[in-house]
Copies of this chain bind each other. A is one copy, B any other.
Amino acid sequence: MDLITASYVASAPDRDPEVLAENIAREQSLELTRSLIPDAIAERLLGRVLSVQPMDERRWRIEIGYPVELASRQVGQLLQLVYGNVSFYPRIRLVDLRLPQSLLDQLPGPIGGLPTIRRLTGVPERALLMSVLKPRGSAPETLARLALEFARGGGDLIKDDQNLVEVDTAEFRHRVSACASAVERAAQESGRRCLYLPHVAGSGDHLRRQLDMVAELGLSGVVLCTWIMGLETAATAARERGLMWLSHPAMAGSFTEGGDCGIATPVLLGTLVRIAGADISIFPGSGGRLQTGQADEVEQTCRALTQTLGPMAATLPCFGGGKTLEQAPEAATQFGRDCAVLVGGDLIRRGRDLQQDVEATIAALSA
């Protein structure tokens, strides 16, 4: 039987680690006392303990195998399966997730991903430079100007800040059209394309109208806040319209920064967003304003996003969290070329030098 293998670290377990492992396997699969589960169902669907190993004096590594049927071919249900209820158990952290080929073949994966982004931007090899349009409250023309200068400087990707949200979809269309025209103008001038990704938020008709507008404008993708909108919801919303999807990590720190609990960054912002179909995954890199990203976790997350994984295209890893233009080449050197570095506030600070400073950074990234 094909199994989904989830590895947990139990820190200072509140019961015997072997018992805890059995409890997790049952809680996450059938949520019922063993004696109440008919044997035929248990055989087919009960989670099973694969191993329980001490790591040090207070931590155990617990590996559980879940029958693949339990994921119901849905990324949301997979999330439920590997961490839903156990999120309430004390000090259990999901640290690794391996999926059988049969499930990888059923899950969506990126519709474009890294290869498509490289093709559209015409950047076959080097690390990519991304920037962000902000602050909220700025006139659309101001944001469009910023996009224009970044694109003229040779910047590769520009996204909306996740705070840019309009209640009125006509205002949304006005702002997004202005920025889309700006990057189009730069592309006409230079023959090189900077991809503009508007932020889309909300639900129901409001969400659908915005996504339709983005698709009608011929843009290639959107920014969606995965952990607010829902992982599978975000994936499907973009995919239904043939849009690529940049996964923004807002709220995800609740999972990744929980120390002994939660879900490790390489699993959450690596494997899970990739199999759901994110074309770009932003996560806090080391350095910058958010100090959270440990170098080894950053490296593992990059690997989860780009290594061979069933039939799935690579997701472009993007280091966020307040980096400067000067830090961009360094991040790319440390973690390889298959990444993007996000520079936000530092770019706005450049004022009239923006275009030339971007040019210099792109040159450094190419070196």
Contact = CB atoms under 8 A, between A and B. Distances in A.
Interface of A: 14, 29-33, 36-38, 40-41, 44-45, 70, 72-74, 76-77, 79-81, 83-90, 134-138, 161-163, 165-167, 201-204, 225, 228-237, 239-240, 249-259, 261-263, 284, 290-292, 321, 344-345, 348-349
Contacts of A85: 250, 253, 290
B348 A32 contact: yes
B162 A84 contact: yes
Contacts of A87: 250-254, 257
Contacts of A230: 203, 228-230, 233-234
A345 B32 contact: yes
Centre residue among A30, A81, A250, A256 by max chain B CB count within 10 A: A250
A165 B74 contact: yes
Contact of A250 (B45, B70, B84): B84
Contacts of A138: 38, 41
Contact of A76 (B41, B86, B203, B262): B203
Given A37-B135, A88-B290, A228-B232, A161 B255 contact: no
B233 A229 contact: yes
21 contacts: A30-B134, A32-B134, A36-B135, A41-B138, A72-B167, A74-B167, A76-B228, A79-B251, A84-B251, A85-B253, A86-B253, A87-B252, A88-B256, A88-B257, A89-B253, A203-B230, A204-B240, A233-B233, A258-B262, A259-B259, A259-B261
